Amino acid sequence: MPVSDYDQASLPDLLPLYYRRLFPFAQYYRWLHYGGVHKNYFQNREFSFTLKDDIYVRYQSFTTQSELEKEMQKMNPYKIDIGAVYSHRPNQHNTVKSGSFQALEKELVFDIDMTDYDDVRSCCSAADICSKCWTLMTIAIRILDRALREDFGFQHLLWVYSGRRGIHCWVCDEAARKLSVTARSAVAEYLSLVKGGEETLKKVILSDPIHPFIKESLLVVERYFTRYALHDQEILSRKETLDKVLALVPEDILLKELQQDFQNEKKPEIRWKLIKDQALKKQATNKKGHHFEKEIMLQYCYPRLDVNVSKGVNHLLKSPFSVHPKTGRISVPIDLKELEKFDPFAVPTISLICEELDRPIPGEVEEKVDDKENEKDATERRKIRDYKRTSLAKYVKYFDQFLDGVARSWKGELLRKSDLQKEF
């Protein structure tokens, strides 16, 4: 059955099935428990749920994996958000003396939303996305992933598809979780190059010296620019988009000359080369605004992130493996090794995977349940195999690999701690 069979009205039927048989609770708990290195890390974590009829509940918290499972299966949330690890159990925050209840730690997060690029994409707008503009997300991931790893030294990054029109990044390193508000905003500012809203024409301005971070980011953009901007978005081919690009060229460049050349030259690559040549000429004179060809590339391609999402320690962000109510798609982690092949339209929807649950897999033998003792084990085993029958499998597997990496870091911590306590 086609994936587009998803209908928001069927959520109340699909969600119970999803939470009972598909949601990867074990992995989820393994992630947020972080090896138990810090006491009560999982217990003091805030979750928020959006229930049917838009009822929103905050300050949910759970003491064990099984409690989390039971509650979610009871409430069947339409949306799940993850918040911070607090000083006390969030579900008891009203009993705490005012001022004492504080958000202490949280992963460093980034949220890239396609609507923030509406002024530079011509294929879609608002909530729509297509394969042409999805390249912007690919570029964003490449640039930010490199910077967070090589510049900031972070190692455990989880990139997640939001389910509709964007991506999130969860930086799970211990150092990242401990960052203050000021530090988070500094990191986000370091990563921001596109500034300005509706009123600003020129959103990227570069001055000498060009910082190594910008140079590295430009290298990434250059790899995609011809295919994405010149061909897919046709920024130099169509009149309206061409005019917008030329508006970013400094005034003293002989626009008339360029426009004349463009009369004779229709091929976008050649047109771009002509613009670059002008830029080179200007750089030779070393006057202001002599990086305009770079500025154009960045304005059209560089990641636009919302600093406010990254700043707050207590900011709530959509959870991985949450369902997007409008599209039905699961927020799945993205394997960067397969980034070029990632297709948001191929991401499984909740209706697809629920349907796949009942499809028999060829060659599978039904396990016989002998007695009650084995029944519980069998249920567990069946649950574990359940998601494996579905398209969700590969995403959970990737999530497991990610968690293996994170585990290596907190295992080291645990060893260190037990050494200090002289345990054997």
412 binds another protein (CB under 8 A): no
Q: Which is nearer to another protein, 214 or 274 (CB)?
A: 214
Residue selected from 55, 57, 130, 175 as contacting another protein according to rule CB under 8 A: 175
Q: Closest approach of Cβ 183 to another protein, in Å?
A: 6
Residue of 69, 113, 119, 356 marked active site: 113
CA 239 to centroid of chain Cα atoms:
34
375: annotated active-site residue: no
Our CB check for another protein shows the closer of 154 and 342 to be: 154
Closer CB to another protein, 12 or 212, in the complex: 212
Residue 184 Cβ, how far from another protein at the closest point, in Å? Answer: 10
Min dist. Cβ of residue 191 to another protein (A): 9
The Cα 82–Cα 72 span in angstroms is 14
The reply to whether 208 sits near another protein by the rule CB under 8 A is yes
Which residue type occupies 105? E
Q: State the DSSP string of 279-335.
A: HHHHHHHT-TTTTHHHHHHHHHHS--B-HHHHH-TT--EEPTT-B-TTT-BB--B--
Nearest to 50 by CA among 28, 25, 76: 76
277: annotated active-site residue: no
Question: How many residues bind another protein, per CB under 8 A?
Answer: 23
Tell me: does residue 212 bind another protein (CB under 8 A): yes
State which of residues 67, 118, 189, 375 lies at the interface with another protein (CB under 8 A): 189
Do residues 282 and 292 lie in contact, with contact meaning Cβ atoms separated by under 8 Å?
yes
- Among 36, 153, 196, 405, which residue interacts with another protein (rule: CB under 8 A)? 153
CB 407: neighbour CB atoms within 10 A?
A: 16
Report the distance separating Cα 245 and Cα 36, nearest Å: 53
Closest CA to 89 of 50, 57, 46, 120: 46
Stretch touching another protein by CB under 8 A, among 112-120, 147-155, 265-273, 354-362:
147-155
What gap in Å lies between CA 37 and CA 412, rounded to an integer?
A: 10
Binds another protein by CB under 8 A, chosen from 94, 98, 100, 182: 182
Sole window of 73-81, 212-220, 271-279, 296-304 interacting with another protein (rule: CB under 8 A) = 212-220
Question: CB-wise, 311 or 318, nearer to another protein?
Answer: 311
Given CA atoms 128, 133, 136, 137 in this order, what sign does their dihedral have? positive
Judged by CB under 8 A, the stretch of 56-64, 180-188, 308-316, 408-416 that binds another protein is 180-188
d(CA 417, CA 246): 61
405 binds another protein (CB under 8 A): no
DSSP character for 252?
T
Cβ-count burial 90-105 (b if 16+ within 10 Å, e if not): bbebeeeeeeebebbb
Residues in the chain: 424
For residue 163, give both structure tokens.
């389910």
Q: Taking Cα atoms as reference points, which of 398, 419, 362, 358 lies closest to residue 161? A: 398
Q: State in angstroms the smallest separation of the CB of 70 from another protein.
A: 39
Nearer to another protein, 75 or 205 (CB): 205
Part in contact with another protein (CB under 8 A); list of ranges 6-14, 173-181, 237-245, 361-369:
173-181
**183-210 per-residue burial string, b: 16 or more CB within 10 A, e: under 16:** ebbebbeebebbeeeeeeebbbebeeee
Query: And the tokens for 282?
Result: 């200007």
Instruction: Out of 19, 28, 110, 154, name the contact with another protein by CB under 8 A.
Output: 154
Active site residue 111: yes
Distance of CA 13 to the CA centre of its chain: 28
Kindly state the tokens that stand for 203: 């959103």
User: Which position among 81, 105, 111, 386 bears the catalytic label?
Assistant: 111
Stretch that binds another protein, among 7-15, 69-77, 176-184, 225-233 (CB under 8 A): 176-184
Of 175 and 254, nearer to another protein (C-beta) is 175
- Residue 305 as a binder of another protein (CB under 8 A): the answer is no
Q: Based on the shown chain and the rule CB under 8 A, indicate whether residue 211 belongs to the binding site for another protein.
A: yes
| 214-233 binders of another protein (CB under 8 A) | 214-215
Binding segment toward another protein, per CB under 8 A, in 162-170, 175-183, 251-259, 416-424: 175-183
Q: Closest CB to another protein among 206 and 255?
A: 206
Contact 336, 329 (CB under 8 A): no
Q: In what order do the strands lie in the sheet with 157-161?
A: 108-113, 166-171, 157-161
Q: Does residue 404 interact with another protein by CB under 8 A?
A: no
Please give the residue ranges that form the binding site for another protein (CB under 8 A): 150-154, 175, 179-180, 182-183, 185-187, 189-190, 208-215
Active-site residue set? 46, 111, 113
